[in-house]
Amino acid sequence: MIKKKYFYFFVTIAFFTLYNIFSNNLLNVYLINDLNFNQLQNILSWQSLIKFGKLTELNHSSPFITILFSKFIYFTLGYKVYNLIYFILFPSLIILFIALIYNRYLSLKFSFLLAFISGIFFPDFPLRDFIINIFSGQNLIIEHSSLEILTNPTPSFTILYFLIVFYFAQNIKSISLNKIVFFTILFASLFFVHPLDATYGCGFWTI
């Protein structure tokens, strides 16, 4: 079972690697050339703050954890590693954790299939139309559009953060005060990652 998980995970990495190569995401100029604020905001959410902004520009509703983590990756490891992490590693891990959650109730192969279906969609291309185009042989890629899961740091990082917390919370074998406090802090931290994830996460943890 573990070997199969590794195999499917490496297949996922290979898929996102090839997708990003053929779609030129790994060569995108917005992490290399200077862009003005409006251009940057139209291309990537929060990217302007990650690249140019100061922490003093954030307000109480800003996703501090998301911005701080992205800033750390960007300025510590550079834009090349940043691209690899957000365009290949994080999307692959998202598919993996979705599959692991499904795997509690379904077979591993079917879990990864559903995970791919859950993660492979475009913001301007509804899943319904995507599936119809698969069977009709029409174009599956929208020009100048990218998979929603590759948009960084939101939702690439934010979904992964939520899935990791959710997965391990679901796998609690025994309840203790320390575990309750620990996971309460983790779910509460989602408010500083993404407010929508926090709504879902805290709702699950409360129930």
Rounded to two decimals, the pTM is 0.75
141 contact partners, CB below 8 Å, separation of at least 6: 23
Q: Output the CA–CA distances (angstroms, integers) from residue 105 to 1, 16, 109, 132, in the order listed.
A: 15, 26, 12, 27
pLDDT tens column, 166-187: 999 988 888 888 888 999 999 9
DSSP-assigned beta bridge partners for residue 68: none
Q: 31: pLDDT confidence band, cut at 50, 70 and 90?
A: very low
Helix-helix angle 156-170:90-102, to 10 degrees: 30
Q: 160: pLDDT confidence band, cut at 50, 70 and 90?
A: very high
pLDDT tens column, 43-84: 444 555 555 555 445 544 567 788 888 888 888 888 778 888
Residue 122 DSSP SS3:
strand
φ and ψ of 122, to 5 deg: -105, 150
User: Cα(4)–Cα(6) distance, rounded to whole angstroms?
Assistant: 5
